[in-house]
A = this chain, B = another copy of it.
Amino acid sequence: MDVGKGLLHPDRLFPADPATRTIARDLYETVRNLPIVSPHGHTEPSWFAEDKPFEDAASLLVIPDHYLFRMLHSVGVKLDDLGVPRLDGKPVASGRAIWRAFAAQYHLFRGTPSSLWVDHAMSSVLGCDEPLTPDNADKLYDHINAQLALPEFRPRALHKRFGIETIATTEGALDPLTHHQKMAAEGWIGRVRTTYRPDSVTDPDAVGFRANLLQFGEITGADVTRWDGMVDAHRKRRAYFRQFGATATDHGVPTAFTADLPLADKQALLDTALKGPLSSADAELFRGLMMTEMAGLSAEDGMVMQIHAGSRRNTDGGLFQTRGPNMGADIPTRTDWVGGLNALLSKHGHAPGLRVLLFTLDETTYARELAPMAGHWECLMIGPPWWFYDSPNGIRRYLDQVVETAGFANLAGFNDDTRALLSIPARHDVWRREVCRFLAQLAVEHRISKKDAEIVARELSYDNAKKAYKL
């Protein structure tokens, strides 16, 4: 789709120096229209399965975007006024009221990636030709809602219009994949695919862990009270997910810790876990053991293992109690990748065909740990900048720090990792522009030829993601 219209300057994000900008522009022309490969994210499968129109601007653009409401919260806007649901079911704002509250503070996003994404969505997707202000909030709200009612703004139409070659959603191990079943019947698997995310049955600290595990046993017909049976349950469930296009698993873990123990010790730990809450140290051990098991299964069935490590979840206890998780209070912490992955790599690091993608929230590990590790181990690749770092400056720091040691071939291209469907083209566009900017600087400093820069621009925009995820 054309992303150069309206609010968006065609040269945005390109470097100021005229010679470098020219190269960046030329490179960008070669990649701007490549299909979007979106191998990891959190869009709703129901959108693509049911293909219903989106409700309104607020529920599409504001409520699901924790980047937006966390910043508004930080300056004192009430989450109720932004329509963020409460666990006690009390009413919160809706529709136009949310939109007005958002517009009143939209200036807070000046200079942030959120304004890039929102402006992009409003301008090139929704055809707004002026920036959102308190004054035009109502007008734009009505305009957007009118657009959303049109057939060309239904999810499948957007999927096509955005040039999405394939997009992965993310489902828990217990998810029946109803929406994906419907899509399979309609030939939509491939365009949309699932991802196996078993945290609810691999993390003893997950809400309802024991019940989850028992349900997992029922679904799979495996004896999950035996360690080997539990691993076998995963084996079966992964196969089920693969029927719906899954080529990857995903693991959200507080640390990069992995572990390995003799089977008897693992069984003893499982026995304890089935009886009641584990100590904090035992819960970490359990997660670490499961990571190593998952790598073993990946070596066996070829599914790509994604590790998203280092988020300290729900640090605002009061907020967690009233609204639940994913409310903007997940804060990154330091991550020890070298020590953490030791057990996993010792056991499976040389397994043929194993691929593990590492995503960090600790930028100090880019050059110190991830690049040297990916530049040695055949099984390891570095995921793109994640979460807070999926931003222009975040991408600059990433490329600055990983490329010299890891090269380009050990990078997994781009993930948008978003819940916000309309931000997908914007996020890929920012990545492509930043990649071209980085390569243009290498070229103008005579560190890479323009021909090679073109090859790499394409690899990072398209090829590497497909290769990394075995698509």
Contacts and interface: CB of A to CB of B under 8 A. Distances in A.
Given A368-B332, A404-B392, A445 B13 contact: yes
Contacts of A19: 16
Interface stretch (A141-149, A313-321, A414-422): A313-321
B410 A404 contact: no
Contact of A12 (B71, B401, B447): B447
Interface string A99-112: 00000000111111
Interface in A1-20: 8-9, 11-17, 19-20
Interface stretch (A194-202, A262-270, A275-283, A370-378): A370-378
Contacts of A346: 317-318
A218 B155 CA distance: 72
State the number of copies, please. Answer: 3
A13 B448 CA distance: 11
Contact of A332 (B107, B372, B378, B447): B372
Interface string A345-369: 1100110000000000111100111
Contacts of A73: 376, 378
Contacts of A13: 445-447
A24 to B, nearest CB: 11
A59 interface: no
Nearest to A433: B445
Given A16-B445, A74-B376, A409 B338 contact: no
A113 interface: yes
A446 B9 contact: yes
A350 B270 CA distance: 39
Interface in A391-422: 391-394, 397, 400-401, 403-410
A102 to B, nearest CB: 14
Interface of A: 8-9, 11-17, 19-20, 70-71, 73-76, 107-113, 116, 312, 315-318, 328-334, 336, 338-339, 342, 345-346, 349-350, 361-364, 367-369, 371-378, 380, 388-389, 391-394, 397, 400-401, 403-410, 439, 441-442, 444-448, 452, 455-456
27 contacts: A11-B446, A16-B441, A16-B445, A70-B375, A71-B407, A73-B378, A108-B408, A110-B407, A111-B403, A112-B407, A315-B345, A316-B377, A318-B346, A328-B376, A331-B338, A331-B369, A332-B338, A332-B368, A333-B336, A333-B339, A333-B368, A334-B364, A361-B368, A362-B364, A363-B367, A392-B447, A393-B401
